[in-house]
Amino acid sequence: MRAAVLVGPGECAVAEVPVPVAGPGEVVVDVERVGVCGTDVEFFTGEMAYLHQGHAHFPMRLGHEWAGTVSAVGAGVDAGWVGRRVTGDTMLGDGTCRRCRRGHQHVCGQRQEVGIRGGRDGALAERLAVPATSLHALPDSVDAVLGALVEPGGNALRAARAAEARPGGRVLVLGPGTIGLLTAMFVRAAGAEVHVLGLALDVVRGLGFANAWTADTLPDVPFDAVVDASNAATLPARALDLVEPSGRVVYIGLAGSPSTIDTRILALKDVTAVGILSASPGLAATIRAYAAGDVDPRPLVAATVGLDQVGAVLAGERPADAGPGPKVHVDPRL
């Protein structure tokens, strides 16, 4: 089958690779749609920390935001999965450690991450093998586009919940990338007043968010929660400055260099700070939200390309017919 293989920093090629076989407890999925993520770009540039920590090695196959149809099952897997439309959890714990036993497999110290960590091949290929336990079935109302947006949506939903977004509250989201915009959508769906700070404000306003600001135009109003969904090393501290006393700051963005906050401010303002790593605990609820129409992230997808264009997208090239959204999808069948 065809797959996009990241050979080394800046080197991505489409290659013929063996078709995956479903091992015990696994399924094979015919991939229909894959999202290209900022994490994938960090692998392409060679900056991703896992490369330097020994958790990932070249060559590797990326792709952890995906949707498809189960085409085969391995030993011990219910044959009823065949033909079902699915997405899957990126985080695959060992299933035996203390964290896994407590339901926190997404922070298992020995975890694999699909297309990211531990040699587990990703979905930028015609087919993908994953554990059946990682699967989430997709209802008919959640198509492949939405299915490939479940993983980033699960992260964003967790951020919105950590911000305790609700009617009468006011939440500021820093960074209008895919995660930031999805977080803003979930905050809006929860009934809170949403503000977004960033640079690509035409996209923000086009999604119906009137309260879109730059650093120079941000109004002096109280924010009950601030979500940092940016990659700027200075914004975690700025989030703490902007949040109301007894408010909440949520850190879901990752900077390329260390960022610092003044814990004296954290304590003296009696602020609750929450870090979000993974979509895992939010996947099922995200599928329900998409199915119900509470959140519609389709406008975030700017273009859909084939495997042959993956290298160019990772290098930062926008497809010629791309719309304004921040996300590029890949259809391996093209």
**The domain defined by 153-275 carries CATH number 3.40.50.720:** yes
Q: Look up the pTM and report it.
A: 0.96
- Write out the H or E segment, with its range, that includes residue 69: strand 65-73
Q: What pLDDT score does 119 carry? A: 96
Q: Phi-psi category of 214—alpha, beta or left, where left has phi over 0 and alpha has psi -120 to 50? A: beta
Summarised one tens digit per residue, pLDDT across range 224-258 is 999 999 999 999 999 999 999 999 999 999 988 89
Six token digits for residue 115: 């297309």
| Inter-residue contact 106 to 83 (CB < 8 Å) | no
| Inter-residue contact 159 to 189 (CB < 8 Å) | no
Q: The domain 2-149+297-330: what is its CATH number?
A: 3.90.180.10
Nearest to 182 by CA among 219, 222, 150: 150
Q: What pLDDT score does 138 carry? A: 98
Summarised one tens digit per residue, pLDDT across range 134-190 is 999 999 999 999 999 999 999 999 999 999 999 999 999 999 999 999 999 999 999
For residue 70, the SS3 value is strand
Distance from C-alpha of 315 to C-alpha of 258, rounded to nearest angstrom: 24
- What is the number of alpha carbons within 13 Å of residue 316 lying toward its C-beta? 3
Q: Domain coordinates of the chain in residue numbers? A: 2-149+297-330, 153-275
Summarised one tens digit per residue, pLDDT across range 321-330 is 999 999 999 9
Residue recorded with tokens 């036993």 = 101
